[in-house]
Amino acid sequence: MIQIAPSILSADFGRISEEIAAVHEAGADWVHLDVMDGHFVPNLTFGPPLVARMEKPKGLVFDAHLMVTDPDPLIEGFAQAGCHRLTVHAEAPIHLHRTLSVVRSHGMQAGVSLNPATPVSALDWVLEEVELVLLMSVNPGFGGQRYIPQVTGKIRELADILAERGLAIPIQVDGGINTETIGEAAGAGATVFVAGTAVFGEPDYRAAISALRERAEAAVKPRRKDLG
Ligand code: DX5
Ligand code: ZN
């Protein structure tokens, strides 16, 4: 039930297909693609043409995270490039509900993301439209930042709302996830973990992914016991 999603933001872009194959072989569940437009966030990465050229190992989920002001014109391109999941920020499109239905109409699972300062209530009227909620645990734009501890309470708040409403939507956490922080995020109710530096910054990808998974699973077990 725990999914580890290495972010290629910290990978070697000159050997991107090899890097993706390496994390796949090392046990990654998803590969996380951080798309930045230099406007919604102060950094630029890549768009659909590059994703289309990435080799896609069988069984590896391609999970795009759009940190862009205007996602709508890019949705079709990412679907054609082979993405399985596409997450947009609640702060970005004017017509979030429509954007999410367009993502789904292109055969992808729709996700919605919140910046650290955006309250969970921003999602009240779109939760039925998504297959994932991504809570940012850093201000988006760069890898290698510190986990913002207040986000743990936000994960808990969202997990409670989802349980009350009977929605089995996974909570993904992104930013500053490492073996020190993954436990508290998992204990609060997150099940999908993006990790850039904590995977691609380590010499042994398999050991890094296993260590993250173990810490997350260890934190989830006591919570399951509480629930009886
Ligand atoms: C931040 C990105 C993250 C980031 C995570 O804008 O959305 O996916 O790459 O990197 P680490 O794990 O290094 O914080
Ligand atoms: Zn991301």
* Ligand 1 centroid to residue 97 C-alpha, Å: 25
Which pLDDT score is estimated for 91?
98
Which pLDDT score is estimated for 221?
81
Which pLDDT score is estimated for 226?
64
% residues pLDDT > 90 (the chain): 96
Whether the pLDDT of residue 224 is over 70: the answer is: no
CA gap 196, 6 in Å, rounded: 5
* Ligand 1 centroid to residue 40 C-alpha, Å: 15
Whether the pLDDT of residue 222 is over 80: the answer is: no
Give pLDDT tens digits for 139-180.
Answer: 999 999 999 999 999 999 999 999 999 999 999 999 999 999
Give pLDDT tens digits for 201-212.
Answer: 999 999 999 999
Could you say which ligand is closest to the alpha carbon of residue 10? 1
Within 10 angstroms of residue 179's Cβ, the number of other Cβ atoms is 14
Non-local (6+) Cβ contacts of 198 within 8 A are 177, 178, 179, 208, 212
Q: Which atom of ligand 1 is nearest to the CA of 136?
A: 7
Non-local (6+) Cβ contacts of 22 within 8 A are 205
Average pLDDT, the chain: 97
Whether the pLDDT of residue 194 is over 70: the answer is: yes
Which pLDDT score is estimated for 227?
63
